[in-house]
A and B are shown apart, each in its own frame.
Chain A
Amino acid sequence: MSISTTKQKPPLSMPQIFLERKDRGIAPGALQKDNGAVLRISGDWSVATLHSVERELLSLARKAAATNAILTIDTDNAERLDTGAIFALWQAVGIMEKHGAHVSFHAADPARRALIEEIRGKGMTPVPSLSYGPILYTLNTIGFRIFEHVKIMLQALNFSGQVFLLLGKSILNPTRIRFTALASQMQSTGILALPIVMLLTFLIGLVTMYMGTQQLARLGGQEFAINLLEVSVMREMAPLLTAIVIAGRSGSSFTAQIGSMIANEELAAMRTMGLPPMEFLVLPRVLALILMMPLLTVLSDFAAMFGGWVAAKMVIDMDFRAFMTRFHDVANFNNFIVGVIKAPFFALAISFIGCLQGYRVKKSAESVGKCTTEAVVESLFLVILIDALFALFFAKINI
Chain B
Amino acid sequence: MGHSPVIEIKDILTHLGGRVILENVSFSIEKNETVAFIGPSGAGKSVLLQTILGLIPPDSGSVNVFGTNVYGRNNAELMALRKRWGVLFQSGALFSSLTVLENVMVPLREYTGLPTALMRDIAAMKLELVGLTSADGNKYPSELSGGMRKRAGLARALAMDPELLFLDEPTAGLDPISAGYFDKLMKQLRETLGLTLCIVTHDYDTLHDICRRVIAIVDHTIAADVPVEKLLGVDNPWIRTLAQETRCYGPLAGRKSGASSSKTQQKESTEPFHTTRRE
Q: Is A87 a contact of B121 with CB atoms below 8 Å? A: yes
Q: Is A127 a contact of B188 with CB atoms below 8 Å? A: no
Most buried by A among B114, B158, B161: B161
Least CB distance from A124 to B in Å reads 8
- Is A8 an interface residue when CB atoms closer than 8 A count as contact? yes
Instruction: List the one stretch of B65-73, B172-180, B238-246 in contact with chain A.
Output: B65-73
**Which of B128, B135, B188 contacts A114, CB < 8 Å?**
B188
Q: Is A119 a contact of B192 with CB atoms below 8 Å? A: no
Most buried by B among A80, A84, A119, A128: A84
Q: Is B121 a contact of A126 with CB atoms below 8 Å? A: yes
CB within 8 Å for A48 and B83 given contacts A119-B125, A126-B120:
yes
Chain A, residues 103-139, CB within 8 Å of chain B (1/0): the string is 0000001011011001100110111111000000000
Assembly CA distance A119 to B67 (angstroms): 32
Q: Is A84 a contact of B122 with CB atoms below 8 Å? A: yes
Assembly CA distance A50 to B115 (angstroms): 10
What total of chain B residues lie within 8 Å of the partner, measured CB to CB?
49
- Is B88 an interface residue when CB atoms closer than 8 A count as contact? no
Q: Is A127 a contact of B68 with CB atoms below 8 Å? A: no
Assembly CA distance A119 to B125 (angstroms): 8
- Is B97 an interface residue when CB atoms closer than 8 A count as contact? yes
- Is B19 an interface residue when CB atoms closer than 8 A count as contact? no
CB within 8 Å for A4 and B96 given contacts A115-B192, A127-B137:
no
Residues of B within 8 A of A91 (CB): 118, 121
CB within 8 Å for A46 and B2 given contacts A54-B118, A118-B129, A366-B97:
no
**Which of A112, A114, A119, A363 contacts B129, CB < 8 Å?**
A119
Most buried by B among A127, A365, A366: A127
Least CB distance from B261 to A in Å reads 10
- Is B237 an interface residue when CB atoms closer than 8 A count as contact? no
- Is B55 an interface residue when CB atoms closer than 8 A count as contact? no
Residue of A nearest to B99 (CB): A130
**Which of B67, B160, B189 contacts A47, CB < 8 Å?**
B160
Instruction: List the one stretch of B9-17, B105-113, B196-204, B264-272 in contact with chain A.
Output: B105-113
**Which of B64, B101, B120, B141 contacts A1, CB < 8 Å?**
B64
Q: Is A4 a contact of B192 with CB atoms below 8 Å? A: no
Most buried by A among B64, B99, B121, B159: B121
Assembly CA distance A42 to B161 (angstroms): 18
- Is B56 an interface residue when CB atoms closer than 8 A count as contact? no
Residues of A within 8 A of B188 (CB): 111, 114-115, 118
Q: Is B134 a contact of A126 with CB atoms below 8 Å? A: yes
Least CB distance from A19 to B in Å reads 21
Q: Is A122 a contact of B125 with CB atoms below 8 Å? A: yes
Residues of B within 8 A of A5 (CB): 2, 4, 66-68
Q: Is B108 a contact of A47 with CB atoms below 8 Å? A: yes
Q: Is B97 a contact of A8 with CB atoms below 8 Å? A: no
Residues of B within 8 A of A46 (CB): 161
CB within 8 Å for A50 and B1 given contacts A118-B129, A122-B128, A127-B120:
no
Assembly CA distance A115 to B68 (angstroms): 30
**Which of B4, B121, B192 contacts A123, CB < 8 Å?**
B121
Least CB distance from A163 to B in Å reads 26
Q: Is B114 a contact of A51 with CB atoms below 8 Å? A: yes
CB within 8 Å for A123 and B115 given contacts A83-B158, A115-B192, A362-B142:
no
Residues of A within 8 A of B210 (CB): none
Residue of A nearest to B141 (CB): A364
Assembly CA distance A366 to B103 (angstroms): 14
- Is B24 an interface residue when CB atoms closer than 8 A count as contact? no
CB within 8 Å for A364 and B97 given contacts A83-B158, A111-B192, A123-B134:
yes
CB within 8 Å for A48 and B111 given contacts A123-B126, A130-B138:
yes
Chain A, residues 76-113, CB within 8 Å of chain B (1/0): the string is 00001111100110010000000000000000010110
Q: Is B161 a contact of A7 with CB atoms below 8 Å? A: no
Assembly CA distance A294 to B189 (angstroms): 66
Least CB distance from A48 to B in Å reads 6
Q: Is B2 a contact of A7 with CB atoms below 8 Å? A: yes
Q: Is B1 a contact of A8 with CB atoms below 8 Å? A: yes
- Is B191 an interface residue when CB atoms closer than 8 A count as contact? yes
Q: Is B138 a contact of A127 with CB atoms below 8 Å? A: yes
**Which of B96, B135, B138, B192 contacts A112, CB < 8 Å?**
B192
Residues of A within 8 A of B127 (CB): 123, 127
Given contacts A1-B64, A2-B67, A83-B161, 7 further A-B contacts (CB under 8 A): A5-B68, A47-B112, A50-B112, A84-B125, A115-B192, A123-B124, A367-B142
List A residues at the B interface (Cβ < 8 Å): 1-5, 7-9, 46-48, 50-51, 54, 80-84, 87-88, 91, 109, 111-112, 114-115, 118-119, 122-123, 125-130, 362-367
List B residues at the A interface (Cβ < 8 Å): 1-4, 64, 66-69, 77, 83, 96-97, 99, 101, 108, 111-115, 118, 120-129, 134-135, 137-138, 140-142, 158-161, 185, 188-189, 191-193
Pairs across A and B, CB under 8 Å, 27 listed: A1-B67, A4-B67, A5-B2, A5-B67, A8-B1, A8-B2, A48-B111, A51-B112, A51-B115, A80-B193, A82-B193, A87-B125, A114-B191, A115-B193, A118-B185, A123-B123, A123-B124, A123-B128, A123-B134, A125-B124, A127-B101, A127-B123, A127-B134, A127-B137, A130-B99, A363-B142, A366-B96
